[in-house]
């Protein structure tokens, strides 16, 4: 039940505005081994903790890569991919492909989007509520320090208020999810042994400065967390 919220604005009119504001939760079994995001090698060109690596190392633009993936999308269980090209001569571009939706990837217009365990902007109540909270913070982003913006976004991603009733999420989860629907229907999931174990916030400002913040659960304990922040500039 992971959730991802982002605002895309390729041409902000103010120096204090952000080209990209992204906040995401990774929900997983607490005991499952994983690594925190880190730079892969001494070149410091790829910062990631994800399994999806081909796009980061391929010499393809975002649409071409997702187009290639979509050709084999029917072979896999449900998945969603977002890919972006930033600092291109044509401006910033973000593309989306979900293998349970349209057969080909789509270019995204500037705006605010949400993604959970369904297609982009599927109107689950938890996703709609998360977008509402996220939008409220984004509206004030130019008046906040970068550090305060990150903290407010982390607060959004740790909201545990269940958004019920929600027939859509119940129907998709069927019998498996009904006994724990109350926990799953919140932005931040908290179940015994399973739930939100990583928060990620990515900011890219008008000058191409990137701030990547990751907050990870430690020792399978919901009361212990470690926060790491990386800052760098996009290549021009």
pLDDT at 188: 96
Phi, psi of 102 (to 5 degrees): -65, 150
pLDDT at 226: 96
Query: What would the CATH number be for the domain defined by 3-233?
Result: 3.60.60
Residues 6 or more apart whose CB falls under 8 angstroms from that of 156 comprise 5, 23, 130, 133, 134, 137, 187
b/e 106-138 (16+ beta carbons within 10 angstroms → b): eebeeebbbbbbbebbbebbbbebbbebbeebb
For 89-105, the DSSP string reads: TT--EEEEEETTS-SS-
pLDDT at 176: 65
Do the beta carbons of residue 192 and residue 202 sit within 8 Å? no
pLDDT at 177: 66
Using alpha carbons, select from 188, 149, 189, 184 the residue that is nearest to residue 169: 184
d(CA 124, CA 117): 10
How far, rounded to the nearest angstrom, does the alpha carbon of residue 233 sit from its chain's CA centroid?
A: 20
Using alpha carbons, select from 230, 233, 220 the residue that is nearest to residue 150: 230
> Would you write out the chain's pLDDT as a tens digit for each of its 236 residues?
699 999 999 888 788 899 999 999 999 999 998 888 888 777 778 887 685 778 888 889 999 999 999 999 999 899 999 999 987 677 899 999 999 999 999 999 999 999 998 999 999 999 999 999 999 999 999 999 999 999 999 999 999 999 988 888 777 766 666 667 777 899 999 988 999 999 999 999 999 999 999 999 999 999 999 999 999 998 76
pLDDT at 236: 65
Q: Show the CA angle centred on residue 37, arms to residues 34 and 43, nearest 5°.
A: 130
pLDDT at 175: 66
Using alpha carbons, select from 212, 170, 149, 215 the residue that is nearest to residue 188: 215
């Amino acid at each position: 039940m992971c959730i991802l919220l982002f605002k895309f604005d390729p041409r902000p009119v103010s120096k204090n505005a952000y080209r990209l504001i992204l906040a995401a939760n990774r929900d997983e079994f607490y005991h499952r081994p994983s690594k925190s995001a880190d730079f892969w090698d001494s070149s410091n060109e790829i910062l990631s903790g994800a399994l999806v690596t081909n796009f980061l190392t391929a010499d393809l633009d975002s649409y071409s890569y997702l187009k290639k993936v979509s050709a084999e999308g029917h072979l896999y269980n449900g998945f969603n991919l977002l890919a972006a090209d930033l600092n291109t001569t044509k401006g910033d571009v973000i593309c989306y492909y979900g293998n349970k939706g349209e057969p080909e990837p789509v270019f995204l217009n500037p705006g605010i989007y949400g993604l959970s365990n369904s297609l982009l902007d599927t109107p689950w109540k938890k996703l709609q509520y998360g977008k509402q909270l996220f939008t409220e913070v984004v509206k004030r982003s130019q008046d906040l320090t970068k550090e305060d913006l990150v903290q407010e976004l982390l607060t959004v991603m740790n909201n545990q208020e269940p958004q019920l009733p929600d027939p859509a999420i119940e129907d998709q989860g069927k019998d498996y999810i009904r006994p724990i629907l109350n926990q799953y229907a919140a932005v931040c999931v908290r179940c015994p042994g399973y739930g939100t174990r990583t928060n990620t916030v990515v900011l890219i400002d008008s000058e191409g400065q990137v701030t990547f913040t990751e907050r990870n659960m430690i020792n399978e304990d919901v009361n212990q967390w470690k926060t790491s922040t990386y800052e760098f500039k996009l290549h021009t």
